[in-house]
Structure 1
Amino acid sequence: MSAPQTDRTWPHPAVVADLAALRRATPLTHCITNVVVSNFTANVLLATGASPAMVHAPEEVADLAGVAGGLLVNLGTVTAEQGEAARVAVRTANAAGVPWVLDPVAVGPLSMRTALAQELVAQGPAVVRANASETLALAGAAGLDAARGVDSAHGPEAALDAARELAVRTGAVVAVSGPTDHLVTADALVTVPGGDAQLTRVTGAGCALGALVAAFCAVSGSPLHAATAAHVVVATAAERAASAARGPGSFAVALLDELSRLEAPAA
């Protein structure tokens, strides 16, 4: 793996360019996501400049997945029906060349979603966005019983070898979230510092980040650039939101505001 590239902070020129492209294109972003976070996810996409579509019915997903700019499959509150919708949407997206993102929420301790995540990751996501424990579980690593629901019991650095193995096996960018985010490919590592601890106190911040990765995949030149842009944008907006927030409630509102206000400084 190449040496970490740690210069991916705002206003990195490539990130600025990708954000400008997203706002010009307003990409339709199809989200098969969990019921806890749907509203917040849609608002994050709208605030940043994308166009959300929260369509879950197996009878409808093929109509949308083939024409969307990007697709998110999030397993946070997965049911048998939503699992079938994910399978149909992924098949349709792959056939149409639509990039898609897998967010394997809480895989490892929960058998149904773990089996589904393993099935889906074999279908070629552009990006896998997960915390460290989920990355270890998806890669088949040991120590999975330490995961605590949707929270990670491991730091992102502990999952780097597993992330690289998963990236080699699937061809995906594996984005491991934590205090510092690590974006791993078969031969590269990009680190994204920053953000704020209040992101962990707002329901759906990580899930919305996965949707934003899918939106950037629709306009960026590569999945790695897309994942990097999404992580940098959220980290920067979170830092700015935290400076004005009084707690997690006002932080969530301020995060949306800062995502909508994020602009490159004048030259």
Structure 2
Amino acid sequence: MNQEIISTLLKKLRVVNPLIHNITNVVVTNFTANGLLSLGASPVMAYAAEEVADMAKIAGALVLNIGTLNSTVVESMIIAGKSANEHGVPVIFDPVGAGATSYRTETAKKMMNEVKISVLRGNAAEIANVAGYQWEIKGVDAGHSNGNTVELAILTAKKLNTVVVITGKDDVISDGETTYVVHNGHPLLTKVTGTGCLLTSVIGAFAAIEKDFVLASTAALVYYGIVAEIAADKTAHEGPGSFQIELLNQLALVSNDEIVKYGNVEKIEQV
């Protein structure tokens, strides 16, 4: 993928300033909102069942995250998701911790069955458990496995008929036919709570302005990875607290030239 395309999408996003409706977990709400604002999107956090349908239908994208799920929130997510589906609004789903408990796994599968998901984003264990494959999980994090994440993404995308994003050391994006691997990012992202959840919302922001969801997701991952690399470099001797603040700074400051210069994405040729 040409990094110039990613740069063009970033410019468009910052001009359009899309409204992103987030029903996310209580741990990351503030960080997610500030991250989207820094990027150039307009976040809204609306959870009440009485209003989520109205909010979802006017949004550029709907982001659903089950990090701190309960039955009331799940009801609101399904109402919002169905409204988004009816009005052509892309739905981005983050099945946090799927596989850790039966409730999480069943909720994630229920979401996939009742709502048309445009992009499913998680770590390898979460994606595997949503799709019904075997993969280790520890808490809400992926455990070690010898599994092939490219193969997992392709199989899951075909099985669930959606774009799948598997994040980790390298990030994989696939719709079952077209597959990319993004090599940008930094290990410090795993030392700050909510960076993965924010990434899901960043994907939502790109999906709001680009209906090719493989392209939108790949652009979001390249951009976010470069942001993390620059933030880590600027706070190399300061620790994860400073990195978190600098990540928000760089979400706003990263330039189109840096996207072109540092973007590292590979297209996987399927046989």
TM-score by length of 2: 0.90
Which of 237, 244, 247 in structure 1 is aligned with 2:239? 247
Cα 1:25–1:179 shift into 2, 3 Å: same
Which of 227, 249, 253 in structure 2 is aligned with 1:237? 227
Runs of 4+ in 1 over 4 A off after TM superposition: none
Larger mean CA deviation between 99-108 and 215-224 belongs to: 215-224
TM-score by length of 1: 0.92
- Counterpart in the other structure of 1:182: 172
Q: Is the 8 A contact 2:188 2:232 kept in 1?
A: yes
Query: What are the superposed Cα offsets for residues 46-83 of structure 1, whole Å, 9 maximum, x if unpaired?
Result: 00000000111111111100110000000100010000
User: Aligned to 1:124, what secondary structure does the other structure show?
Assistant: coil
User: Aligned to 1:129, what secondary structure does the other structure show?
Assistant: strand
- For 1:27-106, list aligned pairs within 5 A: 27-106=18-97
Q: Is the 8 A contact 2:19 2:43 kept in 1?
A: yes
After TM superposition, give the deviation of residue 142 of structure 1 in Å: 2.0
Which of 164, 170, 182 in structure 1 is aligned with 2:160? 170
After TM superposition, give the deviation of residue 190 of structure 1 in Å: 0.3
For 1:35, the aligned partner's letter is V
After TM superposition, give the deviation of residue 160 of structure 1 in Å: 3.1
Q: Is the 8 A contact 1:132 1:155 kept in 2?
A: no
Which of 199, 218, 223 in structure 2 is aligned with 1:228? 218
User: Aligned to 1:30, what secondary structure does the other structure show?
Assistant: strand
Q: Unaligned regions of 5+ residues in structure 2, if any?
A: 261-271
User: Aligned to 2:256, what secondary structure does the other structure show?
Assistant: coil
How many residues end up aligned between the 2 structures? 256
- For 1:141-156, list aligned pairs within 5 A: 141-143=133-135, 146-154=136-144
- Counterpart in the other structure of 1:124: 116
For 2:179, the aligned partner's letter is L
After TM superposition, give the deviation of residue 165 of structure 1 in Å: 2.3
User: Aligned to 2:173, what secondary structure does the other structure show?
Assistant: strand
User: Aligned to 1:161, what secondary structure does the other structure show?
Assistant: helix
Larger mean CA deviation between 66-75 and 153-162 belongs to: 153-162
Q: How large is the Cα RMSD of the aligned pairs?
A: 1.7
- Counterpart in the other structure of 1:139: 131
- Counterpart in the other structure of 1:4: none
Aligned sequence identity (%): 39
